[in-house]
Structure 1
Amino acid sequence: MLFPYAYNILGTAEDAKDAIQDVLYKFLAADKEEIADPKNYLIRSVINQSINIKNQRKKLQLGDAWLPEPVDTEGADTNINLNEIVSYSLLILLEKLNARERAVFILKEAFAYSHEEISKTLSISVEHSRKLLSRAKQKIDQVHAPVTVQKNEGVTPAVLEKYMQAIRSRDVKALENILTEDIAYYADGGTVVKVFAKHCTGNQEVADLLVFVFHKYGADWTIEAGEFNHQPALLFYQGDVLKSCQVFGIEPETNKIFQIGNVLDPAKLPAIGRGVE
């Protein structure tokens, strides 16, 4: 129950688990007679602990090189309420917000909290909650990134088959036609893996980059389909070692790719694939 609250604010499963563990330790040691509503107490405590951790972690992150840790929404633990985990495309955009703006946005848009409920949860006024939500919406572009997306049902969309076929055959023009004109590509190698480009936009530039990187580094890798944060993904393996996880934002109207989040950071890959270093 608590995981989606923490994860949506923090963007990593490990940090979310740390926040929940800290809160549960304090809860177990607390005087329960002073806690009228344990469920709301835990939710409120986890949200505020997540905000604190996010503020601390923000100083250590690598700007536009940092991507959220994808969560498997196809074969994940059924005890987690997957419906409340927001889309990966939106998680990337939420990095533009400060921790409190992000918390208000998540509570309102993902959990359908009223501003009155948000004010009690975050100990702020209703008016301040409204201002934070307005400010958050101004900072992020939701044209391509809904809060949740239709379940992929584990089937790789045909567009990704065309995507890989174009990359393998070095057909840049065909690849450009699969991407939206304003596509955004992000790559996160953490502090270990040096990426060729951390951020790239525009279908021509992204297509050239994808073809170059694949044939230079990953032409002999095997590829498996997956689903992370309710969006289709491709997992790239070198033997049994997971080297990259690409999560795709696809426009349902045009079936074109509008965003690619390429996670190469070894610190984020262990919980994703079937085998890592």
Structure 2
Amino acid sequence: MTSFPQLSRRVFLTRTAAVGGALTVPGLLTACSRTDAGGEAAGLDKLKEQGYVRVAYANEAPYGYEEDGQLKGEAPTLHREIFQALGVAELRPAFSEWDGLIPGLQAGKYDVISAGMAITPERCAKTLFSEPEFISPTALMVEQGNPKDLTDLASAKDAGAVIGVMSGAVEKGYATGAGIADGDIRTLQKPQDGADAVKAGRVDAFLLTGISLNWLAKNNSGLEVTRSFVPEVDGVKQYSPGGAVFRQGGEEVRDAFNRELKKITSDRGRYVQLLSEYGFGEDTIPPADLRTADLCQA
């Protein structure tokens, strides 16, 4: 069996379009603010009967975000496909700050978190996760043309490259685990700082998930992103998987969701067709033996 790491954080990317902790989008949040506190998680029959499922998002592209009054991103797109297959036609969205997602789920404000949330033992103790719906392999953002010919952390070490990482993120551990000296690692506060540091020549490469870097590259000319790779720490591959999140007691809906999810992750063409516009592709499809049960006990 594959050995899987304990994850310490969610995927990093800049939050977008959130103003004052709320979204003022006509119609987007109507019928979504009522709190169904307490009680049991809604079963599949109830969701089918009412015709919708309440989903929470944190307005973080490309995982789940609002644009032009529409809920977009990896998680809503995938979850809409799955729930429609289950006979539930509509996603009714509710915005939450990231730290409020799980408390809101527990309070019954919504049925599912659709935000690309990383699967960790701490979160598993409070919720029910689907099987992984994506993994987040790592990549390097470099100057156009990749002048140092960097492909992964081993090549960065051999080239003596200076690497930028996010403050408090796991990528610093990936870099040091690959043997890159602390003096060749620069700490940055947010993704755009990393892109700016590469442009200005302060670092040779910015290390982050390929998903995040590909999204960042859309708004930063003169830069490119290397092919994604899976780093290892002490011989353990660092997949950083994420999934949908359900209330405890919602096993029936979670299990039905998983059956439809497997149909999609087992069909590479369908997966890529659904999610490619958000930067997800064949390299983000979870390995078949990557299981939530193992991740929850890591």
Normalising TM by the smaller chain, what interval? Answer: under 0.3
Using the size of structure 1 for normalisation, the TM-score is 0.25
TM-score using structure 2 length: 0.24
Which structure's relative contact order is higher, taking Cα pairs within 8 Å and 6+ residues apart? 2
